[in-house]
Amino acid sequence: MRELIILCFTILFLPLSMAAEGTGLKVEGGTPGTDYKYEDNTYTILTDTELTISGTTTADHIAVGENVTANIIFNDLSIKFEDGNNPIKGTCAFYIYKKAHVTVTITSTNTIQSGALLAGIQIEKDASITIQGDGTLNAQGGWGGAGIGAGKATSCGTININSGTVNAFPGGWAFGLGGGCFLEMEPTTDAIININGGIVSAGGKEWGSSSINGTININGGEITTSYHGSSFYKYNFNGLQTITGGTFNNYTFNNETTIKGGTFTNCTLNKIISFDETNASFSDCNLTFTNPATLTKDYSGCTFNGEITIKGGTFTNCTLNKIISFDETNASFSDCNMTFTNPETLTKDYSGCTFNGEITIKSGKFTNSTFTGEITVKNGTFTDCIFDGKVFLYNGSSTGDSSVKGSECYIYDGNWIFNNNEAAINSSKVNIYGGSIKANGVWGAGIGGNSSSNGKNVTIYGGYITATSVYGAGIGGGDGYSGGGQGGTTIIYGGTVVAIVNYYDAARGFGIGSGRANRGSGITKIYGGSIKGTIDGQPITTGDQPVYLGKLEVQNVTDVSVDGKPYYIDRNIDEDDNLYLYMTGDKHTVTVRTSGSNNVTTYNATYASQGVNNDGTNKGYFTFDSGTSSTPTESSSVAFNFSNYDIIYGTDKLTVKLTVTNKVTRTRSAAMNSVQLALIDEENNVLLSDWKDVTTDGEYEFEFDTKKLNAGTYTLTAQYGGSSESNPSSKQEVPLIIAQAEGTKAPEYEDPTLTAIYKNKLSDIQLPTGWTWDVPEAEVGNVGDNTFAAIFTPKDTRNYKVVSKDLTVTVSPLLVSKLDDPKVISSQPVTYGITLSNIEITDKWKWVDGNTIPRVSSWNSYPAYYEIEDDTNYDWSKISGYNKGQHRVIREIELDVKPIYLEAKDFIFTPPENLIYDDQGKEAKVEVKDKSISYSNFFIEYYNTNGELVRTPKEPGTYTVSITFFMSTNYVLKEDPLTDLSWTFTIKELHNITITSSIANGRVTVNKEKATEGETIILKANPASGYELESLSYTQLSDGATISITNKTFIMPESDVTVTATFKKATVTPPDPVDPDPPVDPDPSPVYYTVTLPAVEGAMTDPVAGSYEIESWGNFGFFLMIEEGYKGSSVPVVTADGKVITPRISDGKYILKNVQSDIGIEISGIVKDQSTGNVPLPSGFGIFIADGILRVTAPYVIRLYLADTNGRLILTRQLPAGDTRIEGLAAGIYLLTLEGQPTRKILLK
């Protein structure tokens, strides 16, 4: 025995291994039939017991059943199918059904391959697979199927990859991971791909195949993807992507991507919806943001698209296409291209950068940089830089191959050197107010056109300008051999200008005018200044009068006027320290002031039409006398008409009036015969400057264009330059305050028209540029117009105030797009008879009529409603079943209702009333107790004791009743046919009881003359005087048998009987002599009489039915109990020798007192229950109640029984035919029974 036990345990602990016959797969672990099963070439996993599957097959496959959690180890497994061809499906190697959750641990190398239209590992929606381990899994889809995920036209569940090497190869026109066939693809977001680790490869070389499709979450791992050249989806990721880790090289992320981490190299991310750079790094990437992103880290070789805020970082070789906020404090840039959407200020050093937008430069060193847009330079040094656009140079310096081009260039001060192979300054409009400018072109002009373009519009007000070119003009057109080359329009109001051509054949070009091709002179207008250089064509002045060169050889000149008109020179020409003045061909008075003294010298100039010494080109056309010198002793003054000026940003013009007095106390020198007004900013840059010729004392009005001046505090500086009689005035300064304009005046300001949907937050509303909510997380409120505090911050916060304002939001109802159909959540099917109110349905749904009893039907649906509490804020119009008037959604709910299965106890069986054989057919009744059951027709069948169907029972015998074909929708017989042991009746012949007439010396009577078999017959013997009963018997006429009778009762046989009796003389014992003192008999012999208690169907007696000997003058008592099924309709009537006896009130006991003869008890009124008050009375009967009087109508003599609700008999009465009135009854409920009729309840009031 011990050996047997050991053997059993050995078998129990051996690992279970199963391989189906004819297959190479092997399953280890678990119990066949419990944990997995093998049927039809399929291993179906049933439980979470760990199973190891290995082997090679081309016939068998694996499936995980619905709702199963499985744990599988793949160990050197190979399943390959190549069957099917679109549109015929092949075989799926590994199928995971919906709501199944599978963990696959891979060891060694494993290959899973499916046939056409199926994924290598196919995962239904709401199912999942988790892949882990240190092995390799190769999953190959068939045509139209993913490597791991969906097949053609199917949805996909969740794919988790934690470790191992996973290669997901799609078939043609499909993805490696996630979505299936491109041509019939379920929604992208169905597939959820979570890559947490491992080495993952997705994609393939099959025609049109691609990489990963779905909701992609990458938290780690090394991912490699690929796509076929003909693919519709030529990118590495397609779907919704969340990246929190991992390494990516040369990837394209399509659709919405959330970045939370990872290392990205040479990647393209086309739609970044959320960006957190904390744990991420990028190099050589192209990033497009759909929402504003903030950059603080180091980036190299990256392109940024979308709204960007710069708060720090080192950027190398990057392109930033839409910088909305820029803080260079902690940032550095080299070789970058930056585009600003708002005005920005630069103060740091930059190299190799391109700046686009509205830029102000206050300091810094810029090397090899390009500026496009509106550029304002207030300081800084620039080497090899290009200014392209609208350029304002207030101060600073440039060297190397720097140049200017674009629409406009304004130079106010600074030391600027521009060199270019084309034009050094190539702006369409050039205004120079001051500074030192050297512009050197080669093929283009120094200032003006490029090699093949004409000159520009150049206006010079001041400064020292040196403009040179090799092949073009100094100021004017370019080379001109390839077209263009004509001089532009050059206007000189002041300054010192040197315009020369460096070409070896200088005669081929002009200092001002056309290039060497001499295609056209252009226009040169001179109103002042000192100009050295050849001029193409005739220069003119006011009134288009020609002007001619006059060379005045006087050194250290600081100021010049001609005929009292200031010429606004900067200084003498550096080369020879002479003046080169252009004047009309008349005599002129030239007054000069020189530096180092307060002397003023006046020269008389005489026009020589042929030029001085016939050399007008070099010596000019004017001769000058030796001049007369003087030292002015009078001083002049200038005064503002206001002590300060206040305007609001955006004001178009500022008008300033200055009062000039020619002779006042002298302070320091300035331009003679003019008054100058300058506008200086806080950094001492001259922003605006203008002069007026002064001819007499008085007011001179200046008008400045101030529209572009920023808000802030400026200084207005005025000075009169004096005259030959007076010294220059002192400078006068007054503040100009430009206040911020109201934010509502900002160009981008708009009062937004805002709409929202109920339940939106303010943050959900797309505000116009500059607007923000005070409390963005606040909800928009109820439907209607609601106001919320908001702030408008202008792009230009320097010049415009921030606006605080309540904005109106028009809130529309939230469209309810979906309301799930209500469902029954209590158990189904329900049994007929239950009301809808007792059937539980989806929360918040209610039955329209909870009192309805659902019926059994194939079209069985009932309306339920969803009470809409709020149809103001919600739009329910698109919801099926919506009833606006009732504020409800009403839909039908299908119910599975099963019928009630009726048993015998659910019926009332009533045997035929007349069971006495009379050669007439008998009919029993079977009725449904529940009268509410509608349409309950059925057939009643009768069977005799031989089991034979009898159409209409009439012959004597016992019959069993059954019912069949119960025709009711909602009720069904539990058995068909249905019967019960009690559903029987017996037709009996009525047999005669004959008392033999030859009985002598006495008489015998019987309680009935006819009886059926089984009845108890009670006899009474009355002996003649002096006789006593000797014997009593009956003879059966059927067989002549004579049976002795005891206790004067017998059971009626199935035969006529003749009763006979004999009487004998009574033995008379003479009385004993009377003893005058007789002794007392202590135990006299008692006399007994027989009381017979019958057995009655539907009732029980205590004691039980039988004959009982009762001592003379004694009492006999019994209890009568009505059985179930008889209590409702029975009114018991107990009689003894024909007299009714009633039960004792205290306990209901029936008592026969003082028994002095044999007594037979009869019990009647016991009938099966029938519904009271619902069965109509037979024809001729009537029951009427009025004023406490009961009136009963009967068509023949019948007995009435009236009992209370406890069954106690109140009265019994033989009713005659016709009407009977019964009075004196107390008010209450009674049970009324007419003999042979069902009992009825009546109410007396």
Find the largest Cα–Cα distance for the chain: 219
Residues in the chain: 1245
Token duo for residue 299: 């980036």
Q: Which residue has the higher pLDDT, 182 or 502?
A: 502
According to the model, what pLDDT value does residue 1227 have?
A: 84
Q: What are the residues whose beta carbons fall under 8 Å from the beta carbon of 579, sequence distance 6 or more?
A: 530, 551, 552, 553, 554, 557, 560, 569, 572, 573, 592
**Neighbour count for residue 19 (Cβ, 10 Å):** 16
Please give the Cα distance from 722 to 667 (Å, whole number). 10
Q: Which residue has the higher pLDDT, 14 or 558?
A: 558
pLDDT tens-digit map of 855-906? 888 778 999 999 999 999 999 999 999 999 999 999 999 999 998 888 999 8
**Which contiguous run of DSSP H or E holds residue 2?**
helix 2-13
CA dist 793 to 341, 747, 1091, Å? Answer: 14, 12, 118
According to the model, what pLDDT value does residue 9 have?
A: 35
On whether the CB atoms of residues 895 and 856 are closer than 8 A, the answer is no
Please give the Cα distance from 738 to 783 (Å, whole number). 44
According to the model, what pLDDT value does residue 1081 have?
A: 57
On whether the CB atoms of residues 294 and 311 are closer than 8 A, the answer is yes
Please give the Cα distance from 948 to 1081 (Å, whole number). 68
Span 1042-1066, mean pLDDT?
Answer: 92
pLDDT exceeds 90 at position 1100 = no
CA dist 1128 to 247, 1167, 1204, 1206, 1241, Å? Answer: 88, 9, 12, 10, 10
Q: What are the residues whose beta carbons fall under 8 Å from the beta carbon of 1146, sequence distance 6 or more?
A: none
Mean pLDDT is lowest, of 5-9, 362-366, 837-841, 882-886, for 5-9
pLDDT tens-digit map of 645-655? 998 988 888 88
pTM of the model: 0.61
Span 782-809, mean pLDDT?
Answer: 94
Mean pLDDT is lowest, of 12-16, 617-621, 1062-1066, for 12-16
Span 564-570, mean pLDDT?
Answer: 92
According to the model, what pLDDT value does residue 667 have?
A: 30
CA angle 936, 937, 942 (to 5 degrees): 125
pLDDT exceeds 60 at position 592 = yes
pLDDT exceeds 60 at position 1241 = yes
Span 371-384, mean pLDDT?
Answer: 97
Span 916-923, mean pLDDT?
Answer: 90
Token duo for residue 1196: 């023949």
**Neighbour count for residue 782 (Cβ, 10 Å):** 12
On whether the CB atoms of residues 371 and 358 are closer than 8 A, the answer is no
Residue 1207's pLDDT band (cuts 50, 70, 90): low
> Which of these, 1161, 1019, 1164, 1006, lies nearest to 1092 by C-alpha position?
1161
pLDDT tens-digit map of 624-646? 999 999 888 777 888 998 888 99
Per cent of the chain over pLDDT 90 is 57
DSSP, collapsed to helix, strand or coil, labels residue 1013 as: coil
**Inter-residue long-range contacts of 996-1004, CB under 8 Å, 24+ positions, other chains counted:** 996/1058, 996/1059, 996/1060, 996/1061, 998/1060, 999/1060, 999/1061, 999/1062, 999/1063, 1000/1062, 1000/1063, 1001/1027, 1001/1063, 1001/1064, 1001/1065, 1002/1027, 1002/1029, 1002/1061, 1002/1063, 1004/1032, 1004/1059, 1004/1060, 1004/1061
Residue 896's Cα: distance from chain center in Å? 33
Residue 1196's pLDDT band (cuts 50, 70, 90): confident
Residue 58's pLDDT band (cuts 50, 70, 90): very high
According to the model, what pLDDT value does residue 120 have?
A: 95
Q: Is residue 935 exposed (0-12), middle (13-18) or buried (19+ Cβ within 10 Å)?
A: exposed
Please give the Cα distance from 1014 to 255 (Å, whole number). 98
The upper half-sphere exposure of residue 1025, i.e. CA atoms within 13 Å in the direction of its Cβ, equals 0
Percentage helix, strand, coil for the chain under 3-state DSSP, each rounded to 5: 5, 50, 45
CA dist 1111 to 1022, 1139, 1154, 1156, Å? Answer: 20, 21, 9, 8
Token duo for residue 188: 């992208």
Q: Is residue 456 exposed (0-12), middle (13-18) or buried (19+ Cβ within 10 Å)?
A: buried
According to the model, what pLDDT value does residue 608 have?
A: 95
**Which contiguous run of DSSP H or E holds residue 6?**
helix 2-13
**Which contiguous run of DSSP H or E holds residue 931?**
none
Q: Which residues pair with 981 in a beta bridge?
A: none
> Which of these, 1194, 1200, 1183, 1192, lies nearest to 1234 by C-alpha position?
1200
pLDDT tens-digit map of 290-328? 999 999 999 999 999 999 999 999 999 999 999 999 999
Residue 235's pLDDT band (cuts 50, 70, 90): low
Per-residue H/E/C for 197-249: CCEEEECCCCCCCEEEEEEEEEEEEEEEECCCCCCCCCCCEEEEEEEEEEEEE
> Which of these, 1181, 1203, 1112, lies nearest to 1152 by C-alpha position?
1112
Residue 519's pLDDT band (cuts 50, 70, 90): low
Q: What are the residues whose beta carbons fall under 8 Å from the beta carbon of 652, sequence distance 6 or more?
A: 705, 706, 707
Span 1113-1120, mean pLDDT?
Answer: 90
Q: Average pLDDT over the chain, rounded to whole?
A: 88
Q: Which residue has the higher pLDDT, 609 or 1175?
A: 609
Q: Which residue has the higher pLDDT, 310 or 181?
A: 310
Q: What are the residues whose beta carbons fall under 8 Å from the beta carbon of 947, sequence distance 6 or more?
A: none
pLDDT exceeds 70 at position 115 = yes
Please give the Cα distance from 445 to 468 (Å, whole number). 7
Please give the Cα distance from 749 to 770 (Å, whole number). 8
Q: What are the residues whose beta carbons fall under 8 Å from the beta carbon of 31, sequence distance 6 or more?
A: 16, 49
Place of tokens 């080369």: 575
DSSP, collapsed to helix, strand or coil, labels residue 745 as: helix
The upper half-sphere exposure of residue 763, i.e. CA atoms within 13 Å in the direction of its Cβ, equals 4
CA dist 593 to 463, 527, 669, 725, 727, Å? Answer: 18, 19, 9, 12, 10
pLDDT exceeds 80 at position 16 = no
Residue 208's pLDDT band (cuts 50, 70, 90): low
According to the model, what pLDDT value does residue 669 have?
A: 35
Buried b (16+ CB within 10 A) or exposed e, 705-741: ebeebbbeebebbbbbbbbbebbbbbbbebebebebb
pLDDT tens-digit map of 404-461? 999 999 999 999 999 999 999 999 999 999 999 999 999 999 999 998 888 899 999 9
CA angle 1146, 1151, 1157 (to 5 degrees): 170
According to the model, what pLDDT value does residue 1229 have?
A: 84
According to the model, what pLDDT value does residue 963 have?
A: 92
Span 1011-1028, mean pLDDT?
Answer: 88
Per cent of the chain over pLDDT 70 is 92
According to the model, what pLDDT value does residue 174 have?
A: 85
Span 554-564, mean pLDDT?
Answer: 92
pLDDT exceeds 60 at position 12 = no
Please give the Cα distance from 568 to 778 (Å, whole number). 65
pLDDT exceeds 60 at position 233 = no
The upper half-sphere exposure of residue 1131, i.e. CA atoms within 13 Å in the direction of its Cβ, equals 24
According to the model, what pLDDT value does residue 666 have?
A: 30
Q: Which residue has the higher pLDDT, 1095 or 773?
A: 773
DSSP β-ladder status, 350-351 and 365-367: parallel
On whether the CB atoms of residues 791 and 803 are closer than 8 A, the answer is yes
**Which contiguous run of DSSP H or E holds residue 733?**
strand 732-739
> Which of these, 359, 364, 356, lies nearest to 336 by C-alpha position?
356
Please give the Cα distance from 1203 to 163 (Å, whole number). 89
Q: Which residues pair with 275 in a beta bridge?
A: 259
Mean pLDDT is lowest, of 262-271, 418-427, 1035-1044, 1075-1084, for 1075-1084
According to the model, what pLDDT value does residue 63 have?
A: 97
Please give the Cα distance from 294 to 823 (Å, whole number). 49
DSSP 8-state assignment for residue 743: G
On whether the CB atoms of residues 561 and 567 are closer than 8 A, the answer is yes
pLDDT exceeds 60 at position 18 = no
Please give the Cα distance from 457 to 431 (Å, whole number). 8
DSSP β-ladder status, 26-28 and 50-57: antiparallel
Phi-psi region of 255 (alpha: psi -120 to 50; beta: other; left: phi over 0): left
Span 265-290, mean pLDDT?
Answer: 94
According to the model, what pLDDT value does residue 10 have?
A: 33
